[in-house]
């Protein structure tokens, strides 16, 4: 699900070493993170050379949760987050920067 990529999933490296390489530390979306309702819409753009217009779709590129969440955040608080996952820290940092402040950098953020 694109939700994990958008909100949670991040491989954190320190000194070239992966430091969250287990499911205890690498956060995956659970059933509780699933939105109460959502509607998916298929935008059909037939591919000229594919059988019946079909084309293989890379999930990451084809799904649109990330832009939807980024748009919603921008709409709500006026900051644009351009890298995934969109974490509360990143939003806070962007808000602080918008006000001309800088938050201290933590190596894990």
Evaluate the omega torsion of the peptide bond into residue 85 and state whether it is cis, within 30 degrees of 0.
Answer: yes
Q: Which residue number, 31 or 45, has a Cβ lying nearer to another protein?
A: 31
Q: In sequence order, what are the beta bridge partners of 29?
A: none
Q: Which residue number, 24 or 101, has a Cβ lying nearer to another protein?
A: 24
From the CB of 2, what's the least distance to another protein, in Å? 8
Cα separation, 102 vs 109, in Å, equals 14
CA 24 vs CA 11, 27, 91: distances in Å: 13, 7, 24
Specify whether 44 is catalytic: no
Q: Which residue number, 5 or 86, has a Cβ lying nearer to another protein?
A: 5
From the CB of 40, what's the least distance to another protein, in Å? 10
Catalytic residue among 14, 44, 59, 97: 59
CA 64 vs CA 41, 50, 57, 91, 99: distances in Å: 10, 23, 13, 19, 29
Footprint of another protein on this chain (CB under 8 A)?
1, 3-4, 22-24, 28-32, 34, 36, 38
Catalytic residues: 59
């Amino acid at each position: 699900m694109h939700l994990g990529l958008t909100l949670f999933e991040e491989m954190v490296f320190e000194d070239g070493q992966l430091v969250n390489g287990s499911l205890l530390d690498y956060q995956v979306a659970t059933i509780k993170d699933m939105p109460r309702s959502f509607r998916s819409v298929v935008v059909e753009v037939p591919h000229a050379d594919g059988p019946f217009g079909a084309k293989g779709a890379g999930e990451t590129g084809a799904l649109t949760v990330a832009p939807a969440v980024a748009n919603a955040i921008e709409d709500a608080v006026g900051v644009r987050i351009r890298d995934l996952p969109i974490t509360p820290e990143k939003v806070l940092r962007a808000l602080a920067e918008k006000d001309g402040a800088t938050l201290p950098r933590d190596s894990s953020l």
